[in-house]
Amino acid sequence: MTHAARETEIKLAVPDVKTARGLLRAAGFRVSRRRVFESNMVFDTPEMSLRRAATVLRVRQAGGVATVTYKGPPDVGRHKSREELELEISDARAMGAIIERLGLGPVFRYDKYRTEYRQPGRSGIATLDETPVGVYLELEGTPNWIDRAARKLGFAEDDYITASYARLWLDWCEWHGVGPSDMVFSDRVR
Residue among 66, 115, 106 nearest 87 (CA): 66
In a domain, 181, yes or no: no
Beta bridge partners of 140: 9, 125
In a domain, 188, yes or no: no
Q: Find the domain containing 45 and state its range.
A: 2-176
Contacts with 154 (C-beta within 8 Å, 6 or more apart), sequence order: 23
10-32 mean pLDDT: 98
Q: What's the pLDDT at 98?
A: 98
How far apart are alpha carbons 180 and 77 in whole angstroms? 27
Whether the pLDDT of residue 189 is over 60: the answer is no
Q: Where are the beta strands (DSSP E) in the chain?
A: 2-14, 30-44, 56-62, 65-71, 75-76, 80-89, 105-118, 125-131, 134-140
Q: What's the pLDDT at 162?
A: 96
Cα end-to-end distance, the chain, whole Å: 35
Whether the pLDDT of residue 4 is over 60: the answer is no
In a domain, 189, yes or no: no
Residues in the chain: 190
Q: What is the CATH number of the domain that holds 34?
A: 2.40.320.10
**% of the chain beyond a pLDDT of 90:** 91
Residue among 27, 20, 18, 49 nearest 127 (CA): 20
> Please, where are the H alpha helices in the chain?
17-26, 49-52, 92-101, 143-152, 165-176
Whether the pLDDT of residue 128 is over 50: the answer is yes
pTM beyond cutoff 0.85:
yes
Question: What is the DSSP-derived secondary structure letter of residue 25?
Answer: H
In a domain, 182, yes or no: no
Could you report the per-residue pLDDT of 143-183, keeping only the tens digit for each? 999 999 999 999 999 999 999 999 999 999 999 999 989 99
List C-alpha distances in Å: 70 to 8, 31, 56, 169: 14, 27, 6, 20
Whether the pLDDT of residue 133 is over 50: the answer is yes
In a domain, 102, yes or no: yes
Contact between 37 and 66 under an 8 Å Cβ cutoff? The reply is: no
21-49 mean pLDDT: 97
Positive or negative: CA dihedral 71, 76, 77, 78: positive
Q: How many domains does the chain have?
A: 1
Q: What's the pLDDT at 36?
A: 97
Contact between 60 and 177 under an 8 Å Cβ cutoff? The reply is: no
Whether the pLDDT of residue 84 is over 60: the answer is yes
Q: What's the pLDDT at 1?
A: 45
Give me the chain's average pLDDT, please.
Answer: 94
